[in-house]
């Protein structure tokens, strides 16, 4: 693992995130940024495993910064950090490709759990009201054949590396697919994806 970039304009909260990162990924290099411009500079250097991005920076507010980063660095996982816990904001961020959503009200253990899950490719977000399940068949049908096989692997309790071996692809490919699977299913992590998929099983 190379670097994790923390972009937040509040020094105290950057310190809190640094503490959480230290516990979730001991020994990893952490770059702190106070603006979107600084975050872009850090990303342009390369070797970034995760960007923790505040939605409210001095030079960016709302989803514009997230959208820009996702367009410029589509392979870098971005976890949104926000004071808002509104379900619409959470879903909007995930819909734009965020790998996770960490509310600023989260406790340190919750932040550690979230960062570890996102680094593992599982995604993480606070519990929000479930979307209606009347369109579940359509959501599952939107998955590609490879994504369906990955979902079957999740249901079987297989790890990312085991699913990667089954499909003959890299673990990084599985992680990238999982982000799309979660977004298409309207869930935030593998546990929710499995629960949703099992609802499709014949009784």
Q: Which fold has domain 133-198?
A: Arc Repressor Mutant, subunit A (1.10.10)
176-202 per-position pLDDT tens digit: 888 888 888 888 888 888 887 777 665
**pLDDT of 134 higher than 60:** no
Answer whether 77's CB lies under 8 Å from 50's CB: yes
For residues 157 and 164, give the distance between their C-alpha atoms in angstroms, rounded to a whole number: 13
For residues 126 and 114, give the distance between their C-alpha atoms in angstroms, rounded to a whole number: 9
Answer whether 93's CB lies under 8 Å from 101's CB: yes
Band (pLDDT 50/70/90 cuts) for residue 1 is low
Q: What's the whole-number average pLDDT of the chain?
A: 86
Supply the pLDDT for residue 132.
43
- For CATH 3.40.50.2300, the residue range(s) in the chain are 3-119
- Mean pLDDT to the nearest integer, 124-130: 67
* Predicted TM-score (pTM) above 0.75: no
Q: What is the 3-state secondary structure (H, E, C) of the chain?
A: CCEEEEECCCHHHHHHHHHHHHHHCCCCEEEEECCHHHHHHHHHHCCEEEEEEECEECCEECCHHHHHHHHHCCCCCEEEEECCCCHHHHHHHHHCCCCEEEECCCCHHHHHHHHHHHHCCCCECCCCCCCCHHHHHHHHHCCCHHHHHHHHHHHCCCCHHHHHHHHCCCHHHHHHHHHHHHHHHCCCCHHHHHHHHHCCCCC
Half-sphere exposure of 92 (CA within 13 A, CB side): 14
Q: What is the 3-state secondary structure (H, E, C) of 6-47?
A: EECCCHHHHHHHHHHHHHHCCCCEEEEECCHHHHHHHHHHCC
For residues 42 and 33, give the distance between their C-alpha atoms in angstroms, rounded to a whole number: 8
- For CATH 1.10.10.10, the residue range(s) in the chain are 133-198
- Say if domain 3-119 classifies as CATH 3.40.50.2300: yes
Band (pLDDT 50/70/90 cuts) for residue 17 is very high
Supply the pLDDT for residue 198.
76
């Amino acid at each position: 693992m190379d670097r994790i970039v923390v972009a937040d304009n509040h020094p105290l909260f950057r310190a809190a995130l640094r503490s959480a990162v230290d516990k979730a990924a001991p020994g990893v290099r952490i770059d702190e940024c106070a603006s979107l411009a600084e975050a872009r500079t850090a990303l342009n250097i390369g070797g970034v495993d995760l960007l923790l991005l505040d939605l409210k920076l001095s030079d960016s507010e709302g989803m514009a910064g997230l959208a820009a980063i996702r367009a410029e660095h589509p392979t870098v996982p971005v976890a949104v950090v926000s004071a808002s816990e509104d379900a619409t904001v959470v879903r909007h961020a995930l819909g734009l490709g965020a790998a996770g959503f960490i509310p600023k009200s989260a406790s340190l253990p919750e932040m550690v759990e979230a960062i570890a899950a996102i680094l593992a490719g599982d995604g993480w977000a606070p519990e929000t009201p479930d979307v209606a399940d009347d369109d579940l068949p359509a959501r599952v049908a939107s998955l590609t054949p490879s994504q369906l096989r990955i979902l079957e692997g999740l249901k079987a309790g297989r790890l990312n590396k085991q699913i990667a071996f089954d499909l003959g692809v890299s673990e990084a490919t599985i992680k990238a697919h999982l982000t799309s699977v979660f977004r298409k299913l309207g869930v935030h992590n593998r546990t929710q994806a499995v629960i949703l998929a099992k609802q499709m099983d014949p009784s």
